[in-house]
Amino acid sequence: MLKEKVNGILDKYPASVYKNRKQHILVVDHESDNPQTITANTRTIPGIITSRGCCYAGCKGVVIGPLKDVVTITHGPIGCGYYSWGTRRNKARVDEGGDYNYLNYCFSTDLQEKDIVFGGEKKLKQAIDEVVQLLHPPTIMICSTCPVGLIGDDINAVAAWAEKEYQIRVMAFSCEGYKGVTQSAGHHIANNGLMKYVIGTGDEPAGQYSLNILGEYNIGGDGWEVERILKKIGYEITAVMTGNGSVKTLQNAHKANLNLVQCHRSINYIAEMINTKYGTDWLKVNYIGVQATVDSLRSVARYFDDPGLIARTEEVIAEELAEVMPTIEKYRKLCEGKTAAMYVGGSRALSYQDLFSDLGMETILAGFEFAHRDDYEGRDVIPFIKEDADSKNIENLVIEPDDQHYRLVLPREKYEQLKNEIPLNYFGGMIKEMRNDSVVIDDINHHEIDEFIRVLKPDIFCAGIKEKYQIHKAGIFSKQLHSYDYSGPYAGFKGAAIFARDIAMGLATPVWSLVKPPWKTEPALEGHYVEEVV
Amino acid sequence: MLDYTTAEYFSRTGIVINPAKTCQPIGAMYAALGIHRCLPHSHGSQGCCSYHRMHLARHFRDPVMASTSSFTEGAAVFGGGSNLKTAIKNIFSIYDPDMIAVHTTCLSETIGDDIPTYIAQSQIPEGKYVIHANTPSYQGSHVTGFSAMVKAMVKYLSVNSDTPNGKLNIIPGFVNTGDMREIKRMLNLMGINYIMFPDTSGVLDAPLTGKYEMYPSGGTKIEDIIDAGNSLATVALGSFASAGGAEELRKKAKVRPMVLNTPIGVRGTDKFLLAVSRATGQEIPAELEEERGQLIDVMADLHSHYHGKKVAIFGDPDVVIGLTAFLLELGMIPRYVLTGTPGEVFEREVKQMLQAAGVDGVTKSAGDLFSLHQWIKAEPVDLLMGTTYGKYIARAEDIPLVRVGFPILDRGVHSYMPILGYKGALRLIEMISNALLDRQDRDAQDEDLELMM
């Protein structure tokens, strides 16, 4: 029945659009004979009101932007640098003992017509020279925008020149907006650059229980909450990629003994490449949700298998739960039984399902904006994903084990055994986690959001700023899960309590009962009974 | 906060740090949203469209709908014709707008896409329109992008059909929905028949009713823009955003252009009312004269709150020029006046105003907030006026900030409230005065905290 309704939503489309969009939507059916498949990471149909962004947004905006000790110069006209200035809420602060934080700044070469005609390299060099004079950064990264690729500026050559000239680290990322089909291409390009030029260049040793946190961008302070918990247990955090991150810490990332992966989509390349090059395993974790955080902490402890660490983990879990559960229980009463729909990024539409389930809420629709099939179907599908013209344009680095630094943290036997117990070097994707008859949808667009609201009537629809107000106009609360509506953190234990408060607040705020003016539901004219006097 | 900025100023030619402008396409998108049942379309990578929609949605806190040609590397190499034609076909069949307003991006401009030819080759349903504006991001700013789209509206639509309509055209400039409503309110009080385009009121301040409308009731009707060719005259508010459209109407339909400053403050509003009165023969009614008198009353009563205070102002050129004039009327000192938009006219006009008022001020077009901050570090001011991006400087230097202009991303309601007209001036005084007095209260010793101010 739901399937028919889904088809009804697509009926409005011209034939070619219908055929295309149908492949991006499925109704979960765990009893189906074959594993369910979905189409993802393919071109957006021109003219469709999509929410997807570009390669530059994925590279500079998502992965590179949060590195605080870097001056990131956007090489291009003004818009791209301007829009990615301070709009993502990746928080950072200067560490004790001195460090750099350039995140309040935005740097652009602001290319003009004559630069487009005669080339922009000269201006880029001049820009680097001025930045060095004014700000003395230890690292400069250059991110290129659409026209730069077309006019053929060699930003790699400029970076090499600048490294020599100023004796600082300078890196170039050719992340022109038209590359790939979404932000995802930019994640990959950024991952490649960090792997090639940063990770492995430091030599600060790491302790036995050292971790990197990957795919954690410290939105609203999420990373700080996750770090707080892990440090309380006794772990050492070597590097965070890339929220509140720095080149200074990232260069030692190969020394950590385990990589934790929060956002699989944006950072799985680095996780895999470090695994191949240095032998470090990665573990898929989820710090969004109380139960999810507990499970993740136990998995990490299980990996190191130290009785003291395991006991300390349980102690911390008990302490933290005692602190936050009364708050969460209070808000759960307001949320229980409600339904949620989510359309976010390439990871959160799944990770937040755990948090909603802590609140007694069921996710009835979930979709990603720039995910690949493995984010939906699990990593088993990767060998079967067909390369197309767009994905071929993004370089796949060939990585070999590093003679000097390759090591295995776990003996093979133990690894093989543990692999069956915790998600080691594996991610199972979204579909398996969702209930039968829920909807999974890739790159949902304006028309489909409107229609699914009508068909599924969710109590809350979480998305981004481009969708939020459309959903509000329909009288349904929409929570931004990219920027958290400027709240947060939402990760870890304390974050879960803040999320519970925010969701309860959004559902309970009296405005939703004031939408209809009384004269629309009650008669505006009053009649008077007049007794007739005879 | 902004810890690496120092007072040592040197002129830069390579790097822009903390820009005070963005690129042309967002202005074109904003203008196109001011036409009833029009869908803006971004011809380029989908990231542009996404960024512009996000930014407008954050400022207005309302849905901002626009489509994109979603270029891939293939389109960047072989041209975007096929993408645009597919887009036009899909947009009409799925979203059914009355018009698509295409604007270009740095990508499609660099490869030289020929938009008129692509439009001519597209399937456009009977009675529907597709217009376009060239808005390469490597020229001008969001303000000139707005102007380019207004010009495109005239170029594609307005016709002089020798049937004078007795109406006055108004091009309001890149201002808020609240300002557009204020302009219309003043014209209505005067009993003037007008065509205002674009008009984003009713689009980006649409009510929440429980039913989402993709095309809200607001926006200028296409037939009115066509009819703008038959009007008495065109009043263009702000030379950067509006003069282009008015000039185009003169060329195309022989409608007399009248370019005025954005009507901010007493004389700015006086000039606007006088101009529209003279152009139409309609008298300025008692209601507006009463509003003016109220404003003057408040200025006399409150002058001690702000007179002589030094201000740094930044933002879009038309709005900043209007504001500078008003600050001078208030007896304030506009010490630094900066816009990110290029154009020496801006510097000339501001310098003239400052000189006439005997004020020693620094002015710059095509400037950035790093420069502004450096100036303030070298010689501080009492008040900062500008967009949300000013909050970093405000915090770093502990200066109160009055939020005005585009964009304001960290406060609500502002877009509903005018800064234009006498009413808008009253609101500006309230904001300026409160910001300064709040600071005085915050800094006062217990024994100096005043009950009456």
**What is the residue extent of each domain of chain B?**
24-157, 168-283, 288-448
From CA A393, how far away is CA A387, in angstroms rounded? Answer: 10
Which residue of chain B comes nearest to A184, CA vs CA? B47
Q: Is B168-283 in the same CATH topology as B24-157? A: yes
pLDDT at B13: 97
Task: Compare CB distances from A130 to B12, B41, B212 and report the shortest one's residue.
Answer: B12
Let me know if A57 is a catalytic residue: yes
Cβ–Cβ of A474/B211 closer than 8 Å? yes
Of residues A88, A254, A264, A482, which has the active-site annotation? A88
Q: What is the pLDDT averaged over residues A430-449?
A: 98
Class of B24-157 in CATH: alpha beta
Q: Which of B310, B399, B423, B382 is nearest to B1 (CA)?
A: B399
What is the mean pLDDT of the segment spanning B147-168? 98
Residues A54, A143, A190, A301: which is the catalytic one? A54
- Classify the C-alpha dihedral A276-A277-A280-A286 as positive or negative: negative
Which pLDDT score is estimated for A99? 81
Q: Cα separation of B184 and B341, whole Å?
A: 27
Alpha helices in A136-174 (DSSP H): 146-151, 155-166
Q: Which of A53, A76, A147 sits opposite B46 (nearest CB)?
A: A53
CA distance B98 to chain A (A): 15
Q: How far apart are CA B401 and CA B390, in angstroms?
A: 7
Distance in angstroms (rounded) separating the CA atoms of residues A317 and A296: 11
Cβ atoms A512, A472 nearer than 8 A:
no
- Which pLDDT band, with edges at 50, 70 and 90, does A526 fall under? confident
pLDDT tens-digit map of A300-337: 999 999 999 999 999 999 999 999 999 999 999 999 99
Cβ within 8 Å, pair B18-A150: no
pLDDT band, very low/low/confident/very high, at A521 (cuts 50, 70, 90): confident
Q: What is the DSSP string of B164-207?
A: ----EEEE--S--HHHHHHHHHHHHHTT--EEE-S--TTTTT--
pLDDT above 90 coverage of chain B, percent: 100
Largest CA distance in chain A: 113
Helix or strand or coil: residue A282? strand
Q: Chain A residue with minimal CA distance to B17?
A: A107
What pLDDT is attached to residue B88? 98
Per-residue model confidence (pLDDT) at position A533: 65
Among chain B residues, the shortest Cα distance to A44 is held by B70
Interchain contact, B23 vs A49, CB within 8 Å? no
> Residue A312 catalytic?
no
User: What pLDDT digit, counting tens, does each position of A270-280 carry?
Assistant: 999 999 999 99
- The whole-angstrom separation of Cα B268 and Cα B239 is 14
* Cβ partners under 8 Å of residue A301, min gap 6: A233, A309, A310, A313
pLDDT at A96 over 80: no
Average pLDDT over residues A361-372: 98
Residues of A in contact with B107 (CB under 8 A): 146-147, 150, 177-178
- The number of folded domains in chain A is 1
Query: What digits encode the pLDDT tens for the residues B20-54?
Result: 999 999 999 999 999 999 999 999 999 999 999 99
CA angle, B203 as apex, B200 and B208 as ends, to 5°?
Answer: 145
Instruction: Please list, in sequence order, all residues whose beta carbon lies within 8 angstroms of the beta carbon of residue B76, skipping any fewer than 6 positions away.
Output: A146, A149, A150, A176, A178, B107, B111
Helix/strand/coil for A345: coil
Percent of chain A with pLDDT over 90: 95
Which of A84-98, A215-229, A419-433 is the least confident region?
A84-98
Distance from CA of A264 to the nearest CA of B (A): 22
The tens digit of pLDDT for each residue in A46-83 reads 999 999 999 999 999 999 999 999 999 999 999 999 99
Q: Are B170 and B194 in contact (CB under 8 A)?
A: yes
Count chain A–chain B contacts defined by CB atoms under 8 A.
258
Report the share of chain B in percent with pLDDT over 70.
100
Give percent above pLDDT 70 in chain A: 99
Q: Report the CATH number of the B288-448 domain.
A: 3.40.50.1980
CB-CB under 8 Å, A146 with B106: yes
Which chain B residues touch A14 with a CB distance below 8 Å?
A: 89-90, 93-94
Three-state DSSP class for residue B19: strand
Q: B38 has which bridge partners?
A: B99
B200-235: b or e for each residue (b if 16 or more CB lie within 10 Å)?
Answer: bbbbbbbebeeebebbbebbbebebbbbbbbbbbbb
CA–CA separation, A24 and A370 (whole Å):
12
Task: Report yes or no: B172 and B243 within 8 Å, Cβ to Cβ.
Answer: no
Q: Which residue has the tokens 């070619």?
A: A16
| Whole-angstrom distance, CA of residue A72 vs CA of residue A77 | 15
- How far is it between the farthest Cα atoms of chain B? 77
B373-425: per-residue pLDDT in tens?
999 999 999 999 999 999 999 999 999 999 999 999 999 999 999 999 999 99
CA distance B238 to B247: 13
Residue A532 pLDDT: 67
Position B405 scores a pLDDT of 98
What are the residues facing A173 on neighbouring strands?
Answer: A143
Of A13, A104, A113, the CB nearest to B139: A113
Structural domain that includes position A104: 55-197
Query: CB under 8 Å to A186, separation ≥6 — which residues?
Result: A54, A55, A56, A57, A58, A59, A60, A61, A62, A63, A175, A179, A180
Amino acid at B319: V
Q: Which pairs from B248-252 meet CB under 8 Å and 24+ separation?
A: B248/B151, B248/B154, B248/B155, B248/B158, B249/B154, B249/B158, B249/B169, B252/B154, B252/B155, B252/B158, B252/B160
CB atoms under 10 Å from CB of B274, counted, come to 12
Q: Is the pLDDT of residue B153 over 80?
A: yes
CA-CA distance, A379 to A317, in Å (whole number)? Answer: 30
Residue A528 pLDDT > 80: no
Q: Which residues of B touch A53 (CB under 8 A)?
A: 46-47, 50-51
d(CA A390, CA B206): 39
Residue A108, domain CATH: 3.40.50.1980
State the average pLDDT for chain B.
Answer: 98
Other beta carbons less than 10 A from residue A181's beta carbon: 25
Query: Which pTM does this prediction carry?
Result: 0.97
- Establish whether A15 is a catalytic residue: no
Answer yes or no: CATH 3.40.50.1980 is held by domain B168-283: yes
**Cross-chain Cβ contact A466/B138 below 8 Å:** no
Question: CB B47 to CB A80 under 8 A?
Answer: yes
Mean pLDDT across B267-284:
98
* CA proximity to B320, closest of B245, B264, B391, B371: B264
DSSP A435: P
Has A318 been annotated as catalytic? no
pLDDT digits (tens, 9 = 90+) for B67-115: 999 999 999 999 999 999 999 999 999 999 999 999 999 999 999 999 9
Instruction: State the catalytic residue, choosing from A187, A264, A379, A482.
Output: A187
CA proximity to A70, closest of A103, A42, A93 = A103
Instruction: Give pLDDT tens digits for A453-471.
Output: 999 999 999 999 999 999 9
**Nearest Cα residue in chain A from B341:** A78
Contact B76 A178 (CB under 8 A): yes
Element (H, E) at A415: helix A412-418
Q: Could you say which of A51, A145, A179 has the minimum Cβ distance to residue B50?
A: A51
Of B41, B45, B87, the CB nearest to A54: B45
Determine the average pLDDT of the residues in A516-523: 88
A124 neighbourhood in chain B, CB within 8 Å? 14
